[in-house]
């Protein structure tokens, strides 16, 4: 009887808390969403926890990069990556990027890196979300002249390990490259 | 005209001699019985039925055919599903690696920018100090 009460209390709590839990979701501004129509190449990867676990089963234990990836994703809750590549510069406005950045404000998010480069026009922002002094998520917004990238990873993540997977000296180690004008949708999650 | 009559007579004689009654030699019956006892008794073995004779029945034949066809279809469907799952998994793995690569490369970009600022700042300070000392 007691356990039933506990369960019902928990379900009521979850029901009440769901709007607050959903509040953590990050939404791409509609203007940014529209960029896919003008972009030369668009990449969208959405993977939630079970999907990540399932995909990691196919990672090879012999490949060092895949081995690192398997270790990295085992406790992640979700990954969302959106990348736009354009033919020309100025395909998006700084206001659109600013709308995106404005969603990540203290105390929930803390900006650890904010680079503004007037010389080459490469602007990068990295935000961390901490829970009980532990890493609970990372957001990367990279606005380059011909490229706009948004990354949101939810869950405890080793930043150094993630950076290692980016290749060495900007040279990608990835064997496959997305084909032109391809939208890679793995799973439709709750992200928008 | 006499020739056929003679032939018939000869045949008659031959038949008479061949079918004449002869006395059984003494001890013939005993010898036959003794020899019969010496011979091993012939036992009739049960008829062996080959295993495939079971399928001679039409109902069994049809049942077997249906079972084999069903298992072949089920096997091929299962194999196709396994292959499909594997292909999906491989695609998901590629997407995951792509996402991690993009995230990692952007982190590296941020890191390189920060490192670039850190290395350029002391150089600038050194240059300003040098110009001050010259003046």
- Chain B residue closest to A125 (CA)? B110
Kindly state the helix (H) or strand (E) to which residue B39 belongs, with its residue range: none
Q: What's the rounded Cα separation, in Å, for the pair B61 and B76?
A: 23
Residue B85 has pLDDT above 50, yes or no: yes
Q: Residues of A with CB below 8 A from B104's CB? A: 162-167
Average confidence score pLDDT of chain B: 84
Query: Residues B84-112: what's their mean pLDDT?
Result: 92
ipTM of the complex: 0.74
| B115 inside 8 A of chain A by CB | no
Query: Residues B28-52: what's their mean pLDDT?
Result: 82
Instruction: Indicate the Cα dihedral angle A89, A91, A97, A98, nearest 10°.
Output: 90
Q: Residues of A with CB below 8 A from B102's CB? A: 43, 45, 81, 83, 149, 151, 166
CB spacing of B107 vs A172 below 8 angstroms: no
From start to end of chain A, where are the E strands? 41-48, 78-85, 110-116, 123-131, 134-144, 147-154
What is this structure's pTM? 0.64
Quote the pLDDT of residue A132: 85
Ramachandran category for residue A167: left, alpha or beta (phi over 0 → left; psi -120 to 50 → alpha):
left
Rounded to a whole number, what is the largest CA-CA distance in chain A?
68
Query: What does the pLDDT profile of chain A (192 residues) look like in tens digits?
Result: 555 565 555 455 444 444 444 445 667 777 777 888 889 999 999 999 999 999 999 998 888 889 889 988 888 999 999 999 999 888 888 888 898 898 888 888 989 989 888 888 889 999 999 888 888 999 999 999 999 999 999 999 888 888 888 765 444 444 444 443 344 444 433 333
Q: What's the rounded Cα separation, in Å, for the pair A149 and B94?
A: 18
CB spacing of A163 vs B109 below 8 angstroms: no
């Amino acid at each position: 009887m007691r356990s039933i009460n506990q369960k019902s209390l928990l379900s009521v709590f979850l029901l009440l808390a769901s709007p607050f839990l959903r509040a953590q979701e990050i939404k791409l501004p509609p203007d940014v969403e529209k960029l896919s129509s003008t972009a030369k190449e668009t990449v969208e990867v959405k993977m939630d926890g079970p999907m990540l676990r399932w995909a990691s089963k196919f990672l090879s234990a012999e490949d060092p990069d895949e081995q690192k990836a398997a270790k990295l994703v085992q406790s992640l809750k979700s990954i969302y990556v959106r990348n736009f590549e354009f033919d020309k510069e100025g395909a998006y406005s700084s206001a659109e990027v600013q709308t995106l950045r404005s969603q990540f404000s203290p105390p929930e998010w803390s900006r650890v890196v904010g680079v503004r480069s007037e010389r080459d026009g490469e602007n990068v922002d990295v935000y961390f979300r901490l829970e009980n002094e532990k890493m609970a998520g990372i957001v990367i917004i990279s606005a380059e002249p011909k490229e706009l990238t948004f990354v949101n990873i939810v869950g405890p993540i080793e930043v150094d390990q993630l950076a290692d997977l980016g290749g060495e000296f900007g040279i990608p180690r990835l064997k496959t490259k997305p084909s032109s004008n391809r939208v890679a949708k793995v799973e439709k999650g709750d992200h928008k | 005209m006499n020739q056929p009559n003679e032939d018939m007579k000869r045949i008659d004689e031959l038949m008479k001699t061949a079918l004449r009654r002869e006395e059984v030699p003494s001890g013939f019956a005993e010898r036959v019985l003794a020899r019969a006892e010496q011979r091993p008794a012939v036992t009739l073995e049960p008829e062996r039925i080959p295993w495939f004779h079971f399928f001679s029945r039409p109902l069994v034949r049809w049942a077997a055919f249906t079972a084999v066809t069903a298992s072949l279809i089920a096997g091929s469907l299962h194999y196709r599903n396994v292959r499909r799952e594997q292909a999906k998994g491989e695609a998901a793995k590629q997407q995951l690696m792509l996402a991690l690569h993009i995230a990692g490369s952007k982190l590296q970009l941020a890191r390189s920018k920060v490192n670039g600022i850190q290395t350029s700042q002391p150089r600038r300070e050194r240059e300003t100090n040098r110009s001050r000392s010259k003046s």
